[in-house]
Structure 1
Amino acid sequence: MLNADFEDHAEHEYMTLVSEHPEWESTPYESTFTVDYGSFESLADLFRQIGHDERVHKEESLSQLRKPRFN
């Protein structure tokens, strides 16, 4: 459960960060790592995606908690 709590906190922090920086909506995201990590139109889109990834990690952690640890 602790891991899910960390992921939940991270998701909210990334979303708060984006909301605190409206200028990122018009700041292009350019990186040599787009092949590995994806292409995004803006810096805001990048951080929203990172926040979404944290949500997915949280949901995966919670899903694992529902499975029996030993058979």
Structure 2
Amino acid sequence: MHKLLANQSSSVKVKGSFGYIAPEYSMGSAVSTEGDVYSFGVLIFEMFTSKRPTDDMFENGLDLHHFAKATLTD
């Protein structure tokens, strides 16, 4: 029976809200702790800025990464 289980495969689909799931998941990457950290970071970002990752301001090339980088000071 163990041998039978070893030959089986499974597929896992990532579920989540657009803007909160890690971008690499859309390219077929495996679920990871890093993806969870990304999602948590988006949540923290939303709490501090009152901006959702799907806000209308994130169009025409502006995304969370560039917005955060532009607003942080050295």
Q: TM-score with structure 2 length normalisation?
A: 0.31
**Relative contact order, CA 8 A, sep 6+: which one is greater?**
1
Indicate the structure (1 or 2) with the bigger Cα radius of gyration.
2
Q: TM-score with structure 1 length normalisation?
A: 0.32
